[in-house]
Structure 1
Amino acid sequence: MKSNQTLSLAVVGLALAGWVGYSFYTAYQPQPMRIQGMIEAQQYSISSKVPGRIDQVLVRKGDNIEKGQLIFTLHSPEIEAKLEQAKAGEKAAGALAQEAETGARSQQIQASKDQWLKAKAAADLMEKTYQRVNNLYADGVVAEQKRDEARTQWQAAKYTESAAFQMYQMAKEGAREETKVAAAEKVRMAAGQVAEVEAFAADTQIESWFEGEVAQVLLQSGELAPQGFPVVTITDTKDAWAVLNVREDYLKHFKKGDTFEAYLPALDRSEQFVVAHIAVMGDFATWRSTDASQGFDLRTFEIEARPVNQDSELRVGMSLVVEL
């Protein structure tokens, strides 16, 4: 009986010694290094290139958005007024170009011809008058002064006839080729101005260029939206990645293209990630001195990793843990 008790005590003592030894062994074993990261995703800002007052916001936070879907509308009386002005200018330029191509109206041509015929008749009359006065001068009836006056009036009438004839020719020929080209170019310029204002007007109906989920709605109906101010932000949940800040002495575990496993507490499961990018320049976000006497330290590098299986359940801000 006594020997059995002794044996039991020996067994208990050995077990206790083994447990203490194992505890000391495990206590002095190196602990796994844990690196915590965060999920990020591509975000887009939906804004307008023209300022205006928000008319309607057609989405809410959490809505899933398709590419080309109408997001919000603007009310801008200034753009509407400018569009009317531009269209009026285009019509005026077109009318001038048409006039240049068509030339003068038949009534204008006839009026110019009548002015020329009138001037020609006056010139013929002054020529006859001069011949009579010259004959009288030769007979000594009139003074030389009278003859010179008649001759001057005849010459002036000839110049008036020539000017009237040139005006008549211009009316028949119409505008010069350079004038027609200039008028046509003014039409093109006016059309460009209309197209520009129409583009601004179209940008009061803002559609999404991306697919994703509405993350924020920053302005509401009735508020003023400055040019380029983000009214709605969209998160592309299908384009998510993990960001880790890794100290450089652990950087050997993360090479571009390597795969590692990370635990996501929010989803209570592990996911596989592939290293996609390693920051070229280190940062001092966290550091540890390697030589206190010389002041050397370890830098931190930012690593981006893409999930092997892109999962829409990944949300911005989720934590993930990697054990090395």
Structure 2
Amino acid sequence: MKTIIKIQILSVLVLLSSCAPKTIEGEQGKIKRDALMVVSKYPGRIIEIYANEGDKVNKGDTLFLLDMPEVEAKMNQAQGAVNAAEGQYKMALKGATNEQLEQIMAKLDAVTEQYKFAEKSYNRINNMFKDSMVSVQKHDEVYMKYQGAKAQYVGVKAKYEEVKNGVRDEKIQMALGTLERAKGALEEANVAYSERFLVAPQAMTIETIALHPGELVLPGYGVANGYELSKAYFRFTVTEHNIAKYKVGDKVAIESPFTNESYKAKIVSVKQLTRYANITSAFPEYELGESIYEVKAVPAAGTNVNNMITNITVLLK
């Protein structure tokens, strides 16, 4: 009976030893990546979502489609302004039409006849006034009409010369400036309208999607976030009694105990951590009051980082 009990106890100990966690040696750290966020520049309502959490997407892939009715209205307004400005500019270049020229010539003929008649009337009255045959009041009335006819003739003749000789260069430049301003407003509206497609800024993984179809997106709001695939680095927390082993520029070997992969890397920075919350080693061992440092290393050139698992434990040898 005692032999059976001993055998059972031994079996339990063997089973427990087989289930014990794997012993990990070396400075422990994590594979890290830069976080990316997909943000909208303009307000809109989500119509379609083309990605799911956990997907890997390429740079420029469309992730969301927004509805922007206000931007569409601005586009229509800007297009109307461009059409009107183009018409004004073409009119300034071509000058007056034949019909407009005929109208101003007819008006000039009419005021010329009126001016000649008023001039003759004034000369006749003026001679009679010199002989004291008309009153001062009558002379002044005829003189006033003569001056009015002369002023009207001068004004219409100046207008005729302007139409005949074409539009001034200043007016053409004004019309051109108005057209360029309208085109700029239309281009701005087109750029805003193109932002209805929210695309991946880099090759990345989609970790979380914050909104769903039908929800409103505000400017600057992060619709989705994830990690950049094309870049990765190794981050270790090292106590001060071990920090002397690591210098910036050192080439080191790094192993992943759970994926059985090894990497060559180069240390690019060593800095002190000021808060306990920044420690990311799985099992930090340090004395109370001991300073903790961050050692950052980047993979050697040519290393394929796309398949590295973010936040997995690695060992610095």
TM-score by length of 1: 0.78
Name the CA shift for 1:284/1:158 in 2 (closer, same or farther; >3 Å): closer
Q: CA deviation at 1:281?
A: 4.4
Check whether the contact 1:271–1:307 (CA below 8 A) recurs between aligned residues.
Answer: no
The aligned residue for residue 294 of structure 1 is none
CA distance in 2, matches of 1:250, 1:257: 17
Q: Of 293, 310, 316, which residue of structure 2 is paired with 1:316?
A: 310
Aligned residue for 1:166, secondary structure, equals helix
Deviations 1:280-324 (A, max 9, x none): 4453538646xxxxxxx542211112344445442122122446x
Q: CA deviation at 1:238?
A: 4.4
The aligned residue for residue 149 of structure 1 is 141
The aligned residue for residue 292 of structure 1 is none
CA distance in 2, matches of 1:166, 1:48: 58
What residue identity is the alignment partner of 1:277?
V
The aligned residue for residue 21 of structure 1 is none
Q: CA deviation at 1:223?
A: 1.4
Name the CA shift for 1:233/1:121 in 2 (closer, same or farther; >3 Å): same
Check whether the contact 2:92–2:175 (CA below 8 A) recurs between aligned residues.
Answer: yes
Name the CA shift for 1:288/1:141 in 2 (closer, same or farther; >3 Å): same
The aligned residue for residue 68 of structure 1 is 60
Check whether the contact 2:203–2:229 (CA below 8 A) recurs between aligned residues.
Answer: no
CA distance in 2, matches of 1:153, 1:130: 9
Name the CA shift for 1:226/1:127 in 2 (closer, same or farther; >3 Å): closer
Check whether the contact 1:256–1:276 (CA below 8 A) recurs between aligned residues.
Answer: yes
Aligned residue for 1:126, secondary structure, equals helix
Name the CA shift for 1:144/1:243 in 2 (closer, same or farther; >3 Å): closer
Q: Are residue 58 (structure 1) and residue 50 (structure 2) matched? A: yes
The aligned residue for residue 258 of structure 2 is 266
The aligned residue for residue 72 of structure 2 is 80
Check whether the contact 1:275–1:303 (CA below 8 A) recurs between aligned residues.
Answer: no
The aligned residue for residue 282 of structure 2 is none
Larger CA deviation: 245-254 vs 83-92: 245-254
Alignment of 1:89-238 (within 5 A): 89-137=81-129, 141-238=133-230
Q: CA deviation at 1:140?
A: 5.2
Q: Of 240, 265, 280, which residue of structure 2 is paired with 1:248?
A: 240
The aligned residue for residue 269 of structure 2 is 278
Q: CA deviation at 1:141?
A: 4.1
Q: CA deviation at 1:167?
A: 2.0
CA distance in 2, matches of 1:209, 1:284: 32
Name the CA shift for 1:160/1:315 in 2 (closer, same or farther; >3 Å): same
What residue identity is the alignment partner of 1:319?
T
Check whether the contact 2:250–2:266 (CA below 8 A) recurs between aligned residues.
Answer: yes
The aligned residue for residue 32 of structure 2 is 40
CA distance in 1, matches of 2:203, 2:228: 6
**Aligned Cα root-mean-square deviation (Å):** 2.6
Name the CA shift for 1:194/1:144 in 2 (closer, same or farther; >3 Å): closer
The aligned residue for residue 306 of structure 1 is 298
CA distance in 2, matches of 1:249, 1:181: 75
What residue identity is the alignment partner of 2:119?
E
Check whether the contact 1:259–1:272 (CA below 8 A) recurs between aligned residues.
Answer: no
CA distance in 2, matches of 1:314, 1:140: 117
Name the CA shift for 1:60/1:158 in 2 (closer, same or farther; >3 Å): same
Name the CA shift for 1:281/1:166 in 2 (closer, same or farther; >3 Å): same
Mark the runs of 5 or more structure 2 residues left unpaired by the alignment. 1-23, 280-285
What residue identity is the alignment partner of 1:56?
E
Q: CA deviation at 1:255?
A: 1.6
CA distance in 1, matches of 2:125, 2:250: 118
Larger CA deviation: 146-155 vs 162-171: 146-155
CA distance in 2, matches of 1:129, 1:277: 103
CA distance in 2, matches of 1:130, 1:314: 104
What residue identity is the alignment partner of 2:184?
G
CA distance in 1, matches of 2:98, 2:306: 76
Q: CA deviation at 1:92?
A: 1.3
Structure of greater Rg: 1
CA distance in 1, matches of 2:130, 2:231: 112
Mark the runs of 5 or more structure 1 residues left unpaired by the alignment. 1-31, 290-296
TM-score by length of 2: 0.79
Aligned residue for 2:187, secondary structure, equals helix
